[in-house]
Amino acid sequence: MKKIKAIWELTRLDHGIMIVIAIFIGSVITKGLPSINKFLFAILTGIFLEAAAFSLNDYFDLEIDKKNERNDRPLVRGDLKPSTAVLIYAIFLPAGMVASMMINNACFIIALINAIFATLYDIKLKEIKIVGNFYIAFTMAIPFIFGAAAVSKNVPSIIWTIFLIAFLAGAGREIMKDVMDFEGDALKNIKSFPSYFGKEAANLIASIFFILSVALSIIPFFINIDKSYYHDLIYIAIVMIADAILVYISITIIKNVGKEYMSKCRKLTLVAILIGLIAFLIGALV
């Protein structure tokens, strides 16, 4: 059980669950309920590529994570060997690519682009933290496009809106991580938002991204981008819960940059993002 828990933590399968929900939302909003076969291969693609990317990431980040005392990482704790992380990457990346080929050419191209950039990010691009922040945000948003592409050749406007919301929230979340990792990154001379602007300013920038995502999330209620969300009281009621959490985080991180506090707030952003996903899912189905 300890090994299973460690593998779960290494591959961040909690993120995988949200990727599955995002792919499902993208599919449902675009063309109703997807076929079982296409949806199965779509979620396998998302989970396999996500697991491979996080495993390789922790392998290359091992020394930095040790300096940052990231005891939430199984490689740091010694629960898994570094070679295990490489093995998971070597198995799951090709598996994800094969799964994407079973859907259509568009999904294969999206998966291939993600696989290439995920590998480049883990090996080198993460050293340019500002570039890496936006890459990670992109990986949080692209599942919506992937889900739409799995069922249709045309991606509707509402999917692009959701893509932007997820991208902005993801960027804010990654900048928060930079603040948490500032000391360890400084030891390796890795440049990030806090190294350029300071911790307080970096948190302010993260807050701006969160607030922009909040503003975008209420637009489908007031503007008829998609009839499923236009004046939908159920959607707005649920999404406002997520928005309230993000606004709370935006206000409070400006006042506090302590590592332990920032870690709690960053975990709270996952709760807000999950609630936001539920709001879009219910809006599409009800």
Note whether 262 and 176 are within 8 A (CB): yes
Intrachain domains 1-155 and 156-286 with the same fold: no
Q: Does domain 156-286 have CATH number 1.20.120?
A: yes
> At 139, which amino acid appears?
T
Q: What is the full per-residue pLDDT of the chain (286 aa) written as tens digits?
A: 778 888 888 898 888 888 988 899 899 989 877 788 888 999 999 999 999 999 999 998 888 788 777 888 889 888 889 999 999 999 999 999 999 999 999 999 999 999 999 999 888 887 788 888 999 899 999 999 999 999 998 899 999 999 999 999 999 999 998 888 887 777 777 778 988 898 889 999 999 999 999 999 999 999 999 998 999 999 999 999 999 999 999 998 888 767 777 788 888 998 999 899 899 989 888 8
| Nearest CA among 206, 204, 232 for reference residue 219 | 232
Of 1.20.120.1200, 3.30.1600.10, 1.10.357.140, 3.40.50.300, which CATH number belongs to 1-155?
Answer: 1.10.357.140
221: Cβ–Cβ under 8 A, 6 or more apart, which residues? 229, 230, 231, 232, 235, 236, 239
Residue 154's φ and ψ, nearest 5 degrees, are -115, 130
Domain positions in the chain are 1-155, 156-286
Q: Where are the alpha helices (DSSP H) in 102-232?
A: 105-123, 129-151, 157-180, 182-187, 193-197, 199-222
